[in-house]
Amino acid sequence: MADGGDSGKRRRSGGGGRCSVAGTSGVARRCVTACFTMPGRPMSAPRLMGWCLVVLMALSAPALALTPDEINTAPFVADPATPSAASPSDATNENPAKSKSGKAGKDKSARKRDKDKPKGPQGLIVKVQVLLARKSISPGEIDGMDGENYRKALAQFRRQNALGEGDRLDEATWAALGGPTTTDIVTTYTVTAKDARMRFPRTIPHDFAKQARMKRLDFTSPTEMYAERFHMSEGLLKALNPRLKTLKAGDAISVLQVAHDRPTQPVERMEAVKATGMLVLYGPGDAIIASYPATIGSADTPSPEGDYKVLRIAHDPRYEYDPKKNFQQGRNTRRLMLPPGPNNPVGTVWIALSKPTFGIHGTPAPSQVSKTSSHGCVRLTNWDAEEVAALIKPGVKMRFVEPSGS
């Protein structure tokens, strides 16, 4: 049973590039208007309906799709070089007026680079994210996007393999990851009869009192279930399966092959590094065994300081909400017991620490890990929390590392 130390708001990532219903309706209306008003070309009602159906089908699919081959055989492309910092001599002789214009120019260049970034998942990034995850250097939710957690994992891999500081993907890093020879990133999964029989709640209410009345805080759709099972964003799952809708037993979908051999060394201690938003596991000789992006407290509800120990590990936990011990959600002023499930506020795992009400746990919102605040606990994706739970045991030391200068 979770001790009510934290909560997470459901904010699953959506399918990148997908038109909204309102947007589709607007386009459809414009299509109908154009068909009726096209001069000299009267159109019959059946033909009109046929054309509009084609338009609607085209708009209902994700605008940005990927094929398994685009990921499995993704070629190496070096990261664009970042502008080097000015040398000390340059800084000393710099004209202040020019400095301001130079900064403005750099800001403009940065905005241009952000604008030029691809808008959908990229095959190369998906491949690198999977290769990192297989080495227990987690990028969090695998989405094929050039984001903070991807860069943190790259930087951690480079440090562990003496490839230098920085978070760039260069040829040496690509080779060390096994990129040139690995082609089994995407695989085919066949929907089972058990999968097809699953029933999903339409929504998970935000209010804890309403959640407490539910039998289970389960997935709300097959898309969410498969995305989490294979450590993917829903957007990436839809990009690989553009016609993903209601599936039946025997149907095949493209998913990531994320299964890997977990580290075998015993974990001796863990560090929650607040400056980088990382949970790092250490083994004998202080060797790094694994690392994960993490949400670690917030300015309003900071995580504790100092050293603690793991007390117990609970899988598929219930969540005990107690406003007198922790925080108050909305108008809920009495204790509540929330049912288990992947959409439980602490996800699928609760690792209790020797500091009462604090722990390491999963989340119902994997896309938000290390990007939003927590109520003081260490929040991971559900699959990363499950891996940590499998690697540690009660008694393992846990240290919260403060940012330097704090």
SS3 per-residue string spanning 14-38 = CCCCCCCHHHHHHHHHHHHHHHHHC
Task: Calculate mean pLDDT across residues 282-309.
Answer: 90
What type of residue is 354?
S
**Of the given ranges (32-46, 112-126, 298-312, 346-360), which has the lowest mean pLDDT?**
32-46
Q: Is the pLDDT of residue 112 over 70?
A: no
Reported confidence tier of residue 405, pLDDT bands at 50, 70, 90? low
Asked whether residue 299 is domain-assigned, the answer is yes
Q: Is the pLDDT of residue 102 over 80?
A: no
Domain-terminating residue out of 31, 60, 89: 60
Asked whether residue 328 is domain-assigned, the answer is yes
Task: Calculate mean pLDDT across residues 24-49.
Answer: 44
Q: Is the pLDDT of residue 103 over 80?
A: no
Reported confidence tier of residue 115, pLDDT bands at 50, 70, 90? low
Asked whether residue 131 is domain-assigned, the answer is no
Identify the residue with better confidence: 306 or 51. Answer: 306
Q: Which residues are catalytic?
A: 361, 377
Q: Which residues pair with 271 in a beta bridge?
A: 280, 399
Dist. CA 204–CA 344, nearest whole Å: 9
Q: According to the model, what pLDDT value does residue 108 have?
A: 55
Q: Is the pLDDT of residue 89 over 50?
A: no
- Percent pLDDT > 90 in the chain is 64
Q: How far is CA 392 from CA 267, 279, 294, 313, 379, in A?
A: 6, 13, 17, 9, 16
Q: How far is CA 19 from CA 64, 80, 145, 220, 238, in A?
A: 11, 31, 19, 21, 13
Identify the residue with better confidence: 299 or 172. Answer: 172
What type of residue is 378?
V
Q: Which domain holds residue 55?
A: 21-60
Q: Is the pLDDT of residue 10 over 50?
A: no
Reported confidence tier of residue 403, pLDDT bands at 50, 70, 90? confident
Reported confidence tier of residue 97, pLDDT bands at 50, 70, 90? very low
CATH of the domain at 326: 2.40.440.10
Reported confidence tier of residue 70, pLDDT bands at 50, 70, 90? very high
Q: According to the model, what pLDDT value does residue 376 have?
A: 80
H/E segment holding residue 194: helix 193-197
Asked whether residue 102 is domain-assigned, the answer is no
Structure tokens of 61?
């699919």
For the segment 152-194, what is each residue's pLDDT rounded down to a tens digit? 999 999 999 999 999 999 999 999 999 999 999 999 999 999 9
Number of domains in the chain: 2
CA end-to-end span of the chain = 34
Per-residue HEC secondary structure of the chain comes to: CECCCCCCCCCCCCCCCCCCHHHHHHHHHHHHHHHHHCCCCCCCHHHHHHHHHHHHHHHHCCCCCCCHHHHHCCCCCCCCCCCCCCCHHHHHCCCHHHHHHHHHHHHHHHHHHHHHCCCCCCHHHHHHHHHHHHCCECCCCECCCCCHHHHHHHHHHHHHCCCCCCCCCCHHHHHHHCCCCCCCCEEEEECCHHHHHCCCCCCCCCCHHHHHCCCCCCCCCHHHHHHHHCCECHHHHHHHCCCCCCCCCCCEEEEECCCCCCCCCCCCEEEEECCCCEEEEECHHHCEEEEEECEECCCCCCCCCEEEEEEEEEECCCEEECCCCCCCCCCCCCCEEECCCCCCCCCCEEEEECCCCCEEECCCCHHHCCCCCCCCCEECCHHHHHHHHHHCCCCCEEEEECCCCC
Asked whether residue 132 is domain-assigned, the answer is no
Asked whether residue 384 is domain-assigned, the answer is yes
Q: Is the pLDDT of residue 86 over 90?
A: no
H/E segment holding residue 110: helix 96-116
Reported confidence tier of residue 64, pLDDT bands at 50, 70, 90? low
CB half-sphere exposure, 348, CA atoms < 13 A: 17
pTM attached to this predicted model: 0.78
**Nearest C-alpha neighbor of 381 from the set 294, 298, 310:** 294
For the segment 346-368, what is each residue's pLDDT rounded down to a tens digit? 999 999 999 998 999 999 999 99
For the segment 217-256, what is each residue's pLDDT rounded down to a tens digit? 999 999 999 999 999 999 999 999 988 877 899 999 999 9
Reported confidence tier of residue 1, pLDDT bands at 50, 70, 90? low
Structure tokens of 23?
């947007």
Q: Is the pLDDT of residue 91 over 70?
A: no
- Tell me the average pLDDT of the chain: 82
Asked whether residue 120 is domain-assigned, the answer is no
Q: According to the model, what pLDDT value does residue 176 have?
A: 98
Asked whether residue 153 is domain-assigned, the answer is no
